[in-house]
Each structure stands twice: as structure tokens, then as C-alpha cells.
């Protein structure tokens, strides 16, 4: 398999780039995470999103524990070659570790962050606690 396509990407000084995941059905932006070269290669090979966890410093197969896997529908690169957009099928419709559809659930209203999206699944249940 050619890896020529990987050469077009401009990784940052830490070897990462930001990746946006968008729900293919609803169009909702689900989350922003990071990938390195290994994570992107794994994502393409598996057909499911594999990110780089900056906090844990390891590959992170999204949904491995919770079951909330992201199946890849398309991968897009931006004009600067330093950001990716994934169109995904979000299994169970929940991307956030808080049990919400999207990680972007706090909206700025009159200079205050308001939580505007419901919890769809109990996080304790998601992670088998």
C-alpha cells in the first residue's frame, strides 16, 4: 500500500494535527481530537477512528471501551494540509465521554457557558464502572 498520501500532511512540531469528527447523518460536529502519522494510518486501515491521546500518550481507538466507535465515511484534508475532517457514522450516536451526542455541549449565552445538550447515556454504564 502506498503511503505517498501521508506526505502531503503538515504535522505540527509534536507530529500531530487536529481532526474534526462530524456525524454523517445529523451533520453535527461531534468532537475535535488529534492524530499522529500512526493514528491516521490505523484509521485508514481499520475504517474506524483511531486518535492519538495527548494525555495518555498512546493510540486511542475511539469507542474501544464504551462501544461508541466511529466508522469512517470520508476523510478530508484542508487547504493548508494541517487539519482533517472525518465524516463518521457514530455508533449509538454518542461521541462524548459525558454521554452526550457531541463534545460541544456548552454554549456561550450572555457571557455564560450554558449546558444545552442532554446526557443520553450514563457515563458509569459506558465505562463499566
Measured CA to CA, the distance from residue 126 to residue 18 in angstroms comes to 25
Q: Is residue 57 within the footprint of a copy of itself (CB under 8 A)?
A: no
Measured CA to CA, the distance from residue 88 to residue 49 in angstroms comes to 8
Measured CA to CA, the distance from residue 115 to residue 117 in angstroms comes to 6
Q: Is residue 44 within the footprint of a copy of itself (CB under 8 A)?
A: yes
Shortest Å, Cβ 89 to a copy of itself: 16
Q: Is residue 91 within the footprint of a copy of itself (CB under 8 A)?
A: no
Query: At 117, is the secondary structure helix, strand, or coil?
Result: coil
Q: Which residues bind a copy of itself (CB under 8 A)?
A: 1-5, 8, 18, 20, 22, 27, 29, 31-32, 44, 74-80, 83, 85, 96-98, 100, 103-108, 111-113
Amino acid at each position: 500500500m502506498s503511503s505517498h498520501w501521508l506526505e502531503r500532511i503538515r504535522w505540527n512540531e509534536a507530529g500531530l494535527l487536529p481532526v474534526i469528527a462530524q456525524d454523517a447523518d445529523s451533520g453535527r460536529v461531534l468532537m475535535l481530537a488529534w492524530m499522529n502519522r500512526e493514528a491516521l494510518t490505523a484509521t485508514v486501515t481499520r475504517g474506524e477512528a483511531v486518535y492519538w491521546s495527548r494525555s495518555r500518550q498512546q493510540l486511542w481507538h475511539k469507542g474501544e471501551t464504551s462501544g461508541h466507535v466511529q466508522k469512517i465515511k470520508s476523510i478530508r484534508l484542508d487547504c493548508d494540509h494541517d487539519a482533517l475532517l472525518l465524516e463518521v457514522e457514530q455508533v449509538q450516536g454518542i461521541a462524548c465521554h459525558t454521554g452526550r451526542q457531541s463534545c460541544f455541549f456548552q454554549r456561550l449565552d450572555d457571557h455564560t457557558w450554558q449546558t444545552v445538550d442532554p446526557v443520553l447515556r450514563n457515563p458509569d454504564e459506558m465505562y463499566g464502572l
